[in-house]
Amino acid sequence: MSNILIISAGGTLLKKQSGDHMEWSVDISDLLPKTHDYKWDIIKLYDGLSASFLIEDVINISNTINETSHTKILVATGTDALEEIAYALSLLVDKSKSVIITGAMKPFGRDGYDGRSNLTDAINYLTQHQLAGDVSVLFDGRVISAARVYKQHSTALNAFQSWPAEKTFLSGDKDLSHKSSQIIISGINFDASIAEKLNVPIMYCHTNTNISTYNFAACDGIIIAGMGAGSVPQNITDYIAKNTVSKIPVIVSTRCVNGPNHADHIYTGSLKKYESRGFIVNAFNGLSALQARVRLHLELTSLLMSQTKNRELLKTWKAKTYG
């Protein structure tokens, strides 16, 4: 008989209509399958909208997983932030654990409510498979690697899809990196109080991007979601290269939901154009802007856990790690 830890962390799964508004009032224990193939313990960490998640909430989930004696864990959470939650857990969870992440796309009581079936599928998958070291997302009968999941539709039951697992013809990479850097060590409990103080925003590039919109002096790191294969408007590139890259890590990613953040094999010199000016590109290749932001935020947290936050430390770390 499997012994499963169920971490309840809000989301549509536990939401239902009450009068003219929605509330999180469903008890997850009432949704679990009534079989004798497993027993469970439930920890409730969060109620409400996952769009309101903070990085410390995600770290709280990972720390809970790493500290428990359970080896099979089900994380039930919201779909708004699930891409980021899943990727963070793929970096942080102890490799001795087996983790399935699920939730619901429709609220309780709506026709087609998928919360109960997703929970049942997730528990069946945990009880029937040997999954040590695996963190996965399960929705609509599909199991997807937590490191490769993305949300391709805002409301569909099959909203979550997987990044291509193999090399694609135009990728230019034999292995798009979904690995953590050496700073991220699975199984280490992160200090949420440090993470919450760090500011690592995403700057989405678009036509008429206005540099004055952003206060880079308040940032500890920046992810630039470039157009296409990491293209950044020239005025933005020049400004950040002159004023910012020497102070904090600046990552060039892509605003596309998947694919490489540079295509130097097609656009000769496109990688050097940024890295020669102090931007970090290739070390984060293959990560979406959301994933790149999660990883950089966690790397900075790891760096500063036993240090005093200061800019010189960030500069030294950047030069050592990506120089």
Average pLDDT over residues 60-67: 96
Separation CA 164–CA 186 (nearest Å): 24
- One-character DSSP codes across 47-92: -S-GGG--HHHHHHHHHHHHHSS-SEEEEEE-SSSHHHHHHHHHHH
Report pLDDT for 170.
Answer: 43
How do residues 102-147 score in pLDDT, each as one tens digit? Answer: 999 999 999 999 999 999 999 999 988 766 678 999 999 999 999 9
Entry pTM: 0.88
Q: Mean pLDDT over all residues of the chain?
A: 87
Contact 244, 250 (CB under 8 A): yes
Question: Which pair of tokens denotes residue 191?
Answer: 């200090």
Report pLDDT for 84.
Answer: 95
Task: Give domain limits for the chain.
Answer: 2-162, 192-322
- For residue 32, pLDDT beyond 80: yes
Separation CA 46–CA 249 (nearest Å): 32
Torsion of CA 261, 305, 85, 46, to 10 degrees: -160
Report pLDDT for 37.
Answer: 80
Question: Which pair of tokens denotes residue 159?
Answer: 């909203």
- For residue 289, pLDDT beyond 50: yes
Closest CA to 159 of 75, 91, 227, 102: 102
Which CATH architecture is the domain 2-162 placed in?
3-Layer(aba) Sandwich (3.40)
Report pLDDT for 90.
Answer: 93
Identical fold between 2-162 and 192-322 = yes
At the top level of CATH, the class of 192-322 is: alpha beta
Contact 249, 281 (CB under 8 A): no
Report pLDDT for 100.
Answer: 96
Q: Pick the residue with more confidence: 302 or 25?
A: 25
Amino acid at position 70, single letter: H
Please count the other Cβ atoms lying within 10 Å of the Cβ belonging to residue 121: 20
114 CA to centre of own chain: 23
Give the pLDDT band (50/70/90) at residue 172. Answer: very low
Report pLDDT for 130.
Answer: 67
- For residue 270, pLDDT beyond 80: yes
Residue 294: partners with Cβ closer than 8 Å, 6 or more residues away: 84, 87, 88, 91
Residue 57: partners with Cβ closer than 8 Å, 6 or more residues away: 9, 45, 46
